[in-house]
Structure 1
């Protein structure tokens, strides 16, 4: 059970594996008014930056779960680097089926709602590990601008326009599922650029060092096509944010 190797190559030395930068991640932690000892479950925790930096800055405790062995190892190393290894732990496993031993104060799935087949299913997964009155964190794309055609939809990594909602539609969905939206921090075009462009440099350096690798052709094509796709479609039409929710 693991992610394809291309994911590890593409993310390279990135610590935040979504269109947030360190400032926005810190803003979210402050906005949630985290107290020392707050317990957090981070599903699809990636390289652990959310848990590790919030443990350092707010003295939270928690567990991260991710399917990637490489990302889990990087998260454990980051915890040691920041001196928070006694506060947080990282588990290699299937986030969709993981249930904590005790309910937590905050349950997060930031940028991976595919584990529940979408927002509604992911909220059900988060709720089963959440204490009454606890906060669910969901990271999710939304349409900034209504896509004019199918080419634009596919340029934003969607199969159909209905794969994403606009921001009002996403907020309405939270309410329809029985949750109050209590905070949100949104990515902007610059943080999209930082995330996307970092992939291009990672891919180019890997290709230069591994020209004969079986993945080289696939990743060469990605590097050729992705910059134009990003500036033409993704940065203009697709937004992304993390939304804090409390069950009604």
Structure 2
């Protein structure tokens, strides 16, 4: 199986592809769209577009665009949008987020757990800037370290991940200011990891013996061991609403 397919299976029993609860997703969207609920919303690296379809269902005047490289995820996004009756207000683009351009700016932009696709936090914010209308806001989700990470954790996530203070400092250096934020609680972090590994395992156990089943079970087991033995005690996730600094 390809990485995209494994990711879709692993995330099927969690609200979004990030360690956030339903309530946190709702609250963050409401804060992002305050005063912007009749505008245009963009998600770079949207996957199955759970942020977008929720926002469209809650705000009848909102329009949204999602960009992702996974065609299967985009098909699922369209099916969900049709089921909720919001498909006419949703545009989906199968392309690399780094190559996306728009003739009209967006009032709000989402980039949750997808900065790596741009080469890191700074390049992601640089790419988002030209897509954002004056007075617009960005919802950015980023990993960070609580305390000193283990050697295995650094190997898994790379040197780009900072502590929380360093993450916020890098955002400010890039020309943005946080106006709201949410640091995921341990319960949210654990729920995400149990769902990721559990969904993949559950899917595999319902399949007959074969390469896909073995790959899924192996991937889930490896991920679980890395989480429990490598980064659980030091990993954090912060989601920030950002605006340009003057």
CA deviations 1:130-165 (Å, max 9, x no partner) are 112211221110012222x413433xx323xx3211
Task: Give the Cα separation in 1 of the matches to 2:6 and 2:209.
Answer: 15
Task: Give the Cα separation in 1 of the matches to 2:98 and 2:236.
Answer: 25
* Partner SS for 2:52: helix
Does the alignment pair 1:43 with 2:39? no
Pairs aligned (count):
242
Q: CA deviation at 1:13?
A: 4.8
Equivalent pair of 1:108/1:126 in contact (CA under 8 Å): no
Root mean square deviation of aligned Cα? 2.0
Task: Give the Cα separation in 2 of the matches to 1:214 and 1:235.
Answer: 29
Question: Which residues of 2 match residues 14-93 of structure 1 at below 5 A?
Answer: 14-32=14-32, 33-59=34-60, 60-93=62-95
Counterparts in 2 of 1:188 and 1:45: CA distance versus 1, 3 Å? same
Q: CA deviation at 1:39?
A: 1.0
Task: Give the Cα separation in 2 of the matches to 1:220 and 1:51.
Answer: 31
Q: CA deviation at 1:3?
A: 5.3
Equivalent pair of 2:15/2:21 in contact (CA under 8 Å): no
Higher mean C-alpha displacement, 41-50 vs 210-219: 210-219
Q: CA deviation at 1:31?
A: 2.1
Scaled by the length of structure 2, what TM-score is found? 0.89
Q: CA deviation at 1:92?
A: 1.8
CA deviations 1:27-54 (Å, max 9, x no partner) are 1022232543121111111111111111
- 1:177 corresponds, among 153, 174, 178, to 174
Task: Name the structure 1 match of 2:220.
Answer: 223
Task: Give the Cα separation in 2 of the matches to 1:40 and 1:244.
Answer: 14
The gaps in structure 2 that reach 5 residues or longer are none
Q: CA deviation at 1:71?
A: 0.9
* Partner SS for 2:48: coil
Equivalent pair of 1:62/1:88 in contact (CA under 8 Å): yes
Q: CA deviation at 1:76?
A: 1.0
The gaps in structure 1 that reach 5 residues or longer are none
Task: Give the Cα separation in 2 of the matches to 1:218 and 1:67.
Answer: 22
